[in-house]
Every structure is written in C-alpha cells, then in structure tokens.
Amino acid sequence: MDNVIQSTSELEGAVPLELQANWAGEVAVVRCRGRLVAGEDVRALRAEVERLMKETRQIVLQMEEVGGMDSSGLGVIVRLLGALRAAHGDLKLCKLSPQLRQVFQITNLLGVVQICETEEEAFKAFSTHARPAGENPAEPQTKILCVDDSNDVLACLRVLLQREGYE
C-alpha cells in the first residue's frame, strides 16, 4: 500500500502552496496548488481564508492540484472550518485527489468537512443549506488533555475527539 500521509521532509521538494481566489456569486473559491504543510503554506492558506471571511462566510477550497498535506495542513482546514461555522458560514472542499481523499478517510474527517466532486456541487451544497455531518456530536463524557505547540494539530485533534464523545 502506498504511503498516503507523507512526512514534511518528503514534501519539502514539492511545490510551495500557491493560492488563487475567485468569486462565484456569494461563494469564494480558493484554488490551491502545491503542498499544504506546516510553516508558510499553512500560514498562507489561513491568511487568505481570513481575508475572504471579511466579505463572505461561504468558501470552497478547490484542491485538485494539491500534491501533499501533513497534519498541520489538516489542522488548518479544521480550524478554518470551525471559524466559518462559528460565523454561521461553512467551508467545502472539492476536486480532491484519491490520495487526499484517503487522508481525510483515514483521519476520520470525512464526516466533519464536506467534500464535493466539483465546484458546482459545492455551490449547490451552499444553496441547499445542508446541515454538515457531525455537527451534533454526542454529549462529551471524558476529558483529555493534549499538549502540542501546533494550534492546527490541536484543532484537528479536538474535532476528532469531540466526534467520539470526548470533551
């Protein structure tokens, strides 16, 4: 089986993240190209989405040309999703490669973030006001303390544990 989640060192040779934002009505589409790893790539995506949030709460990340992602990349997506939902918006992903889709499946994030096949499908998902899967997790029962210096990793871990009933 292929190694799906590559280490940051394996991704260092990959193209740094490039972002291009476009509009489709009220929805901002961010086309991502390159890698999404700890450091400048994660900071760039966070800054771009935060900039767009000043104008809209409906954002699509088109990830067709994302060649790799590490845990910080996953974490920043979860943090941005949380920020948008807290502001009564949402984040959709579209055009994921089979490898990235497998990353979301392995990390149990498929039920947290909505993944669409096409941009058009993502636009329609905003218009139907579909309730995202996993929005009403079970009542937290157990507390877990995790110490890490990456807010993105902690955000990802928090969402996964909440879905499993942890506080």
Distance CA(60)–CA(123), nearest Å, equals: 8
Task: Indicate the pTM of the whole model.
Answer: 0.72
Q: Point out which residues pair with 105 in neighbouring strands.
A: none
Mean pLDDT (whole number) for 147-156? 78
Strands (E), 25-121: 27-36, 58-69, 90-94, 114-116
Are the C-beta atoms of 56 and 22 separated by less than 8 Å? no
The pLDDT score that the predictor gives to residue 156 is 78
- Per-residue pLDDT reduced to its tens digit, 70-114: 999 999 999 999 999 999 999 999 999 888 998 898 888 888 899
**Residue 166 backbone class (left: φ over 0; alpha: ψ -120 to 50; beta: rest):** beta
The pLDDT score that the predictor gives to residue 129 is 55
